[in-house]
Amino acid sequence: MAEHPRTGPGPRTPSLPAAAPRAAAGSLRGAAGSPRPSAARGTAKDAPKDAGVLVIGLGRFGSSIAATLDRLGQDVLGVERSPELVAQWAGRIPLVEADAVNPEALEQLGARDFPVAVVGVGSYLEASVLITANLVDIGVPQIWAKAISAEHARILQRIGAHHVVLPEADAGARVAHLVSGKMLDYIEVEDGFTVVKMSPPKEAQGFTLTQSKLRERYGVTVIGVKSPGVEFQYATPETRISANDIIIVGGHAELLERFAARP
């Protein structure tokens, strides 16, 4: 969502235009995913709801989420106040032009009917906090919000965001793990539990998982194995690991780091 400078001593609360939020591309996708005409150029009453996702802010983060959900066949409605971004995404995803900082705009959008909302606004801290608070006030069951710092994340959590993500910090931590060892991919799931893709250490090569006793020795679990020219296979105690295999391993981050450091 584009940022607008504030003037005057207090925070600026943009007013809602007299007309209802405008939909780009003429129509919005209904719950079944098929286009349907709107009574007023795709106004908020035609937005996908019930099982849909409301994505507020169509910068790089929000637009990526909205476009991916739409490509996966999920009902999604993008909300953006910048005419330039609305024009950029018109015809590519269902969207409306509106300012979600204003609670009345969210009411006109029918935001309370969406089970999930994503606040993709990050760099404009005031807007991020106000939009998240508005969604909390109307009772959206699941609110995901982007933060740009640990302090920002704490504020969003305190006002009621259910999930807070820090894309840049998460990406930085992931890359650090990838460049420092044998890890080929790294995903921290929650509370330190992590799943990694990596090459097997020498002590696992040529042995079954029962024989190598990796779980007993290192506290990690091999979840699956990808051998050259063979589809991914879930691991069993009798799965034999070869030098050219790629293994998927789960466990606590510290234990996985030690395991990945093995020669």
Cβ-based burial of 45 (10 A; exposed 0-12, middle 13-18, buried ≥19): middle
Q: Which of 169, 194, 172 is nearest to 260 (CA)?
A: 194
Q: Residue 39 has what pLDDT?
A: 25
16 falls in which pLDDT band (50, 70, 90)? very low
Pull the structure tokens for residue 213.
Answer: 């006793």
Give the integer Cα–Cα distance in Å for 157 and 151: 10
Length of the chain as a residue count: 263
C-alpha 94: how far from chain center: 18
Tell me the per-residue pLDDT of 144-175, one tens digit each, with 9 for 90 and over: 999 999 999 999 999 999 999 998 888 888 88
User: Per-residue pLDDT for 44 more than 80?
Assistant: no
Mean confidence (pLDDT) of the chain: 82
CB 251 within 8 A of CB 193: yes
The dihedrals phi and psi of 236, each to the nearest 5 degrees, come to -125, 170
User: Where does residue 253 fall: left (phi above 0), alpha (psi -120 to 50 degrees), or beta otherwise?
Assistant: alpha
Q: How big is the chain by its Cα radius of gyration, in Å?
A: 23
What is the pLDDT averaged over residues 122-129?
A: 90
The structural domains of the chain, ordered by start, are 22-165 (3.40.50.720), 170-260 (3.30.70.1450)
Give the integer Cα–Cα distance in Å for 226 and 241: 9
Tell me the per-residue pLDDT of 193-248, one tens digit each, with 9 for 90 and over: 999 999 999 999 999 999 999 999 999 999 999 999 999 999 999 999 999 999 99
Residue 136 has a CB neighbour count (10 Å cut-off) of 16
User: Per-residue pLDDT for 1 more than 60?
Assistant: no
